Amino acid sequence: MDCKDMAMFSARVLDNKKARDIDVINIGTKAAFADYMVLASGGSERQIETLADELEEQFQKEGIQVRNIEGKKASGWILMDYGDIIVNLLTADMREKYNIEKVWGDCEFLDLEDE
């Protein structure tokens, strides 16, 4: 599975678990730390924890291990590092506060529907 496939796979897993406002951003031309960033919102801290657990489980079934997870518990933001892709799971409040999409606004946003 290449990094674009991993990003789209994560978006589909999150969509199936009812994550909201899912964005897949190709950051490879602007960042050295990853090629794709996936953003998704959950309705509560509990939901973003559930989303993280489900994503980790589905990637493990594919033989892919998460390198690092930051922000568990009551932070409102969980970051999952899969090397070439970074997944950010945020509550709606945290997503609005940090507006990560604006930082990467000049990058290509992939459409989950087209894949």
- In DSSP terms, 68 is beta-bridged to 81
pTM for the structure as a whole: 0.93
**pLDDT (0 to 100) of residue 113:** 72
The residue ranges of every structural domain in the chain are: 3-106
**pLDDT (0 to 100) of residue 75:** 87
Residue 31 to residue 41: CA distance in whole angstroms: 22
Beta-sheet strands, E only, within 10-98:
20-26, 36-42, 68-70, 77-81, 85-91
- pLDDT tens, position by position, for the chain (115 residues)? 899 999 999 999 999 999 999 999 999 999 999 999 999 999 999 999 999 999 999 999 999 999 999 987 688 999 999 999 999 999 999 999 999 999 899 999 998 776 5
Fold of 3-106: Beta Polymerase; domain 2 (3.30.460)
